[in-house]
Amino acid sequence: MRSLDDEGRAAVFVTVFGPIFERYEETLARAGEIDFHDMINRATEHVEAGRYRSPFGYILVDEFQDISPARAKLLKALLDSAPGAQLFAVGDDWQAIYRFGGSDIAVMREFGEQFGAFERLDLETTFRCSDRIAAVATEFVLRNPAQIHKTVRATRKVDGPAVHVGLPGEGELSLLKEALDRIAEDAARHEGTSDVLLLGRYRHLQPVNLRSLAKQYAGLRFTWMTVHRSKGLEADYAVVLGLCAGKFGFPVEMADDPLLDLVMAAPEAHPNAEERRLLYVALTRARRQAYLLAEGGPPSAFVTELIGGEYDVTVFGRPPEGDVPCPECKEGRVERRENARDGSLFYGCSNWPYCEHRGRPCPKCGTGLPVKDGDGFRCRDCGGSIEGCPSCGGWLDMKMGKFGRFLGCSNYPACDYTRNLHRPGRRQGPRSRPVSQQ
């Protein structure tokens, strides 16, 4: 049992819970029964005491990321009792989502310390999701530097973005309906019925009109479940509901009672580490496309991260004012402001003066904020599409230089990418970065 910062509260808890646990153990003893944890612990005691010697030369363990310290101790005892025995473990720390059930991801991350010298072999090919889903999911889960780094290669190749983020808009069309309309349009290009997996962080997010969806979308077959239950499953499309901020948000904003740390695995240093892995699981259930919907409240921290300009995602709906994260400090929000000297509009960080980020408005309407949309940008006000800069996370704007019009990056001077425009009567030159024009 680990220590707790509030030792007084922990002592009171043990005083109250102790008699309950003793009564539980007495009840089991009178009935001649043991529970699952007793089975593991007693088995370990028998092996360690030499009353049982393992006859197995090889021990195979699947879903190793979900192992608990008690089960790891039993494995170690079995290996020690059989000289020369080898352990073969298959697991993915990116899918460790059962801390509440006693799992401890540290056992896998510290494999060598637990079991001694070992060889690691990465299974890098995924046959389920497309390359564009795999890329987004991999980048997202590896934002936690504690995750084991590995490369994922997908056998399914697609031309455009396959992860779509829906933001609450001002119209009457629900995000779920808009997502399903888009899915039905894409599914029509494939033969047969397509499977759609509707996922939620909580059971109460199940759509009330689930039965009627099959009638509305004849070519689609729907299944609803929580993200935890979906682990190991797959579908043509995955739709994740309820990616909102709040008490029952995703990531969840309800903090565990510190008393649980007495009996659960140690909390991880990275914020929302297990919730991040849970969304990774949700994303990678989809073979063709994944939809993340922030309907029912303000978009969650995961949504603002995904639409912040660095992920290969498209955005539909309309982000609320002030909900776009600052591309420089990541913590602040982009806000529309007016230059006091000339009255021109610009977008600055809410953390000014600590963050001095300044962004230009949409080159088409002159007022809106360009937000990431696939490989490019789309103005939040006028809806116009804007070409993205191939060198950074900015977008391209038409400028005038001494050699004529050219496209330059909105992040200049931090990014000096430029591209010449074709001029009538003159042959387009090979130059692509005439820095002196800026």
Domains of the chain: 34-115 (3.40.50.300), 125-320 (3.40.50.300), 397-437 (no CATH)
- For residue 437, pLDDT over 70 is answered with no
The full DSSP string for 326-382 is: PTTTSSSBEEEEE-TTT--EEEEETTTTT---EE---TTTSSSPEEEETTEEEETTT
- For residue 299, pLDDT over 90 is answered with no
**In the structure, what pLDDT confidence band is assigned to residue 383 with cuts at 50, 70 and 90?**
low
Give the H or E element holding residue 173.
none
Are 377 and 410 spatial neighbours (Cβ–Cβ below 8 Å)?
Answer: no
Q: What is the pLDDT of residues 15-68, one digit of tens each?
A: 888 899 999 999 999 999 999 999 999 999 999 999 999 999 999 999 999 999
Q: What is the pLDDT of residues 157-192, one digit of tens each?
A: 999 899 999 988 654 458 999 999 999 999 999 999
- For residue 147, pLDDT over 80 is answered with yes
This prediction's pTM: 0.71
Q: Which of 27-36, 367-376, 405-414, 429-438 has the highest mean pLDDT?
A: 27-36
What is the biggest distance separating any 2 CA atoms in the chain, rounded to whole angstroms? 98
Exposure class string for 31-70: b at 16+ Cβ within 10 A, else e? eeeeeeeeebeebbeebbeeeeeeeeeeeeeebbbbbbee
pLDDT of residue 152: 93
- As a whole number of Å, the CA-based R_g of the chain is 27
For 43, 45, 68, 75, 249, the CA distances from 40, given in Å and listed in that order, are 5, 9, 10, 10, 35
Q: Which residue has the higher pLDDT, 342 or 42?
A: 42
User: How much is the mean pLDDT over the chain?
Assistant: 85
pLDDT of residue 205: 93
Q: Which residue has the higher pLDDT, 110 or 317?
A: 110
pLDDT of residue 362: 83
Residues in CB range of 127: below 8 A, 6 or more apart: 154, 155, 156
The full DSSP string for 135-159 is: HHHHHHHTTSTTSPP---EEEE--S
- For residue 434, pLDDT over 70 is answered with no
pLDDT of residue 381: 65
Q: What is the pLDDT of residues 235-268, one digit of tens each?
A: 999 999 999 988 889 998 766 666 666 666 777 8
pLDDT of residue 241: 95
Distance of CA 57 to the CA centre of its chain: 39
Give which of 162, 187, 207, 197 is closest to 285, Cα–Cα. 197
Pair of tokens at residue 235:
């579908």
- For residue 108, pLDDT over 70 is answered with yes
The mean pLDDT value for 125-153 works out to 94
- For residue 197, pLDDT over 90 is answered with yes
β-strand 194-200 against 220-226: which pairing, if any? parallel
- For residue 119, pLDDT over 50 is answered with yes
- For residue 424, pLDDT over 60 is answered with no
Q: Which residue has the higher pLDDT, 104 or 4?
A: 104
pLDDT of residue 425: 38
